[in-house]
A and B are shown apart, each in its own frame.
Chain A
Amino acid sequence: MATPERPTVIKVLLIGPSSSGKTSLLKRYVDDVFEPDDTTTTIGVDFREKKLTINKKLYRLLLHDTAGQERFRTLTSSYYRGAHGILLVYDVSNRDSFLSMAGWFAEAERFAPEGVIKILVGNKTDRTAQRAVKASEGEELAQKYGAIHFTETSAKTRDHAKEPFQKLIEAVISTPGALDANRPVAGSSAVDLAKEDPNNAGCAC
């Protein structure tokens, strides 16, 4: 009997300043959309998980949120390990939020694996009256720092809310090497701590 296909893991991070709506976007995406093959579950509170079937292939999408460590710019370098894609999220109704993005691109450049795929997101488009950042500015910034895509969203109204995730996943899957290059995640050499050796006879003395 054939063993069930093992899903390919895609690790996606959300980064950006406090109150840009990262968690709202994540929840909107995970709990709402994208032809989920299976129901969405949360493992602990460390990351959210979504199972996807794309072109008949199984993927396990792991979405990591900043857990408040973005507030004082104290994300750990281990947070970035093995990431395939990063969504950089700012708030279009907050100029400072946008101005901090150069720093977030620099941090991603410094800690994330080489070749990680980046998408820039201007969130909270529903706040039309308070808009403080033009879409063209976001576009420009995305180009300047090598983000492959820019989009404006509203987690509240669902306006384009799935798009950054979908674009990111598409790009990770279709870019040659993006899924495996430079990422020794869970290689065969790693020890599985959850699995004690049943043949363990202790010392052979």
Chain B
Amino acid sequence: MNIESLNQTIWDAVIVGTGLRESILAAALTRAGKRVLHLDRNPYYGSEYTALSLDELETWARLHQADFHLPDLQDPPMLAKPRSYTLSLSPGLLYTTSPLLSLLVASGIHESLEFLRVGGWFIYRPDTGADETLTPVPNSREDVFNDQSLDPRAKRLVVRALKSILGLEGGSVADWTQKSLQEYLEQSSLHLPSRIISAFASLTLRHDRPGEIPFEEAERDIRNHFGSIGRFGPGFAAVIGRYGSGSELVQVFCRAAAVTGNAVYVLESDIMNIENNIPYPSWAVEKQFKHEDSIGIHLQLRSGDSIWARHLIATADNLPGGIPIVESLPKPLVEDRYWLSVCIVSNPLQNLLRTSEPPLAAGAVVYIPANALKEDSYLNTHPIYIFVHGSETGECPDGQSILYVSMKGDNKRFLDTAVNSLLNKVRDNNGSTGQILLSMKFENTVESRPLKEANRDSSLHILGKHTPLIEIPDAVLDQVIDIYGDIVGSRDTFMEKVEVEEGEPRDNKDTIFE
């Protein structure tokens, strides 16, 4: 791209925020030849998908009123240099059947990324003396039959439930559309115990209690889980990107956009004002930009730059408040509150990362059911997920691991309780449980906003606030393709591979010099 000032062009799209949806869209639009100005108010890429070093995390925590806690017990200090850590706000996994993975491969973008295996799913239960407290979730019928804790009758019932959910049983599950996962698994012909119900619920990656998860949705999730096992090798259903998963994806998409020559990236850039349906200035008309429209969006940046665009794409929280265009946006339909934490622990948790075949997996999912933990005589009202990232992810030094904990609104003290309970159960090679070296807890909301329902044909594309949890959901891509279709006029060309650039002719000495 020629060096030109930002305000001497009419951008096909200005995208504000470098979260995953925005970054995929930037890559797709620029590959389709659209000119994109991609802004982020932060000095780093990723928005809610970012990953931070230790010192950056501390700054982030201060700016976001998060609870940053460095326990005062480290003698000798056990934390490594701040830059040895990549602490992700989007550690989420991708199922091997995820359309996002297919898109990465089809577009050639996967070559800049490394994906690692997520090994097992585990259920943690309080120590009752009767059952193991930490049990792996079966991956197959063989696993169920090898499970020592189940009697033969229970094994048959579990396999029957599984086959039925996966649609392998002749019978119909039609009558369960209005029922919950728990109701389904507790029906008189199955009557499965709560431990088994937890195992099924854990595969949905949902933060609701099994009695709150609609059976239909659980059925879809569980099918997706089992359908993903084996696609890229035996024994695993999901992968995570090395160095923070979602945050690395974001950066690679942004670079893919930049290498087309059609995108300009500006960080630490904030929009102050937005006006829509404004006639383009005379210089634009003089330059004879190829567009039929004569009105567009006018943006004022904090830097003073005045920007013209045909389309604006952003989440509402990346736009300035108090201006009519933003205030008139539809309000979110549902807002769920979540507590999240990022913990560095001095335990490599290798027992959780072992799989049927070496090497160790890079991640594991631990599910703690509701009512399993006690804090000040209260029990946790919702299940808690601990997503374990081992040092193979490059997110921490060897001998440590990063735990990403999430649960629906509750007492945030359960986050540390959950981690400590897990550490107590998984000793390292020296028999040590390890400890929390650092934790950061923060609250977040997940809203479901109709994607431009109120202004269907306009050039403003407002994304619902998205909080990355354990999984990078497929819906991310659906939203992006919708907007791409609106802007480009066709969805068929989405993220097509770029033509290979020809090298400069050897004898053309003068044009080599810029």
Residues of chain A touching chain B, judged by Cβ–Cβ distance below 8 Å, are 18-19, 21, 23-24, 27-28, 30-32, 40-46, 48, 67-69, 71-74, 76-79, 81, 110, 155-156, 184-197, 199-205
Contacts and interface: CB of A to CB of B under 8 A. Distances in A.
B429 to A, nearest CB: 19
Contacts of A73: 267
A21 B229 contact: no
Interface stretch (B113-121, B182-190, B334-342): B113-121
A46 B255 contact: yes
B1 interface: yes
Given A23-B514, A185-B114, 20 more contacts: A42-B501, A44-B108, A45-B260, A45-B500, A76-B45, A76-B252, A78-B252, A79-B255, A155-B513, A184-B392, A190-B242, A191-B232, A196-B232, A197-B232, A197-B234, A203-B227, A203-B230, A204-B142, A205-B162, A205-B168
A194 to B, nearest CB: 6
A197 B229 CA distance: 10
Nearest to A43: B500
Contacts of A77: 45, 251
Given A45-B259, A76-B254, A202-B230, A193 B512 contact: no
Given A24-B513, A78-B252, A200-B231, A190 B500 contact: no
B101 interface: yes
B233 interface: yes
A81 to B, nearest CB: 7
Interface in B231-246: 231-234, 239, 242-243
B503 A31 contact: yes
A190 to B, nearest CB: 5
A81 B243 contact: yes
Interface in B101-139: 101, 104-105, 108, 110-112, 114-117, 139
A79 B142 CA distance: 43
B394 interface: yes
B506 A44 contact: no
Contacts of B501: 42, 44-45
A200 B233 CA distance: 7
A197 B231 contact: yes
A76 B232 contact: no
29 contacts: A21-B513, A32-B506, A43-B111, A44-B108, A44-B498, A45-B501, A68-B258, A68-B261, A68-B265, A69-B255, A71-B3, A71-B264, A72-B265, A74-B45, A79-B251, A155-B512, A156-B513, A184-B392, A184-B394, A186-B114, A187-B114, A188-B359, A189-B362, A196-B231, A200-B231, A201-B230, A203-B227, A205-B166, A205-B226
A24 B117 contact: no
A42 B83 CA distance: 33
Nearest to A114: B83
B141 interface: yes
Given A195-B232, A205-B159, A68 B513 contact: no
Contacts of A71: 3, 264
Interface of B: 1, 3, 45, 83, 101, 104-105, 108, 110-112, 114-117, 139-142, 159, 162-163, 166, 168, 226-227, 229-234, 239, 242-243, 248, 251-252, 254-256, 258-261, 263-267, 359-360, 362, 392, 394, 497-498, 500-506, 509, 512-514
A61 B359 CA distance: 29
Contacts of A156: 509, 512-513
Contacts of B239: 191
Output the residue of B83, B163, B256, B258 with the most chain A CB within 10 A: B258
Given A21-B514, A31-B503, A204-B140, A191 B255 contact: no
What 7 A-B pairs are tightest by C-beta distance, nearest first? A76-B251, A204-B140, A156-B513, A203-B226, A67-B258, A78-B251, A74-B265
A18 B259 contact: no
Contact of A74 (B112, B232, B266): B266
A114 to B, nearest CB: 9
A202 B254 contact: no
Nearest to B40: A74
Contacts of B243: 78, 81
Contacts of A188: 359
Contact of B267 (A74, A81, A184, A202): A74
A76 B105 CA distance: 21
Nearest to A158: B509
Contact of A203 (B140, B254, B503): B140
A50 B393 CA distance: 29
Contacts of A195: 232
Nearest to B97: A202
A205 B140 contact: yes
Given A69-B265, A76-B255, A197 B230 contact: yes
Given A18-B3, A81-B243, A194 B110 contact: yes
Contacts of B256: 46
B59 to A, nearest CB: 15
B47 to A, nearest CB: 14
Contacts of A46: 111-112, 255-256, 259
A42 B500 contact: yes
Contacts of A193: 101, 104-105, 110, 115, 232
Contacts of B267: 72-74
Contacts of B362: 189
A199 B256 CA distance: 33
B498 A27 contact: no
Contact of A31 (B233, B264, B504): B504
Nearest to A188: B359
A27 B512 contact: yes
A36 to B, nearest CB: 12
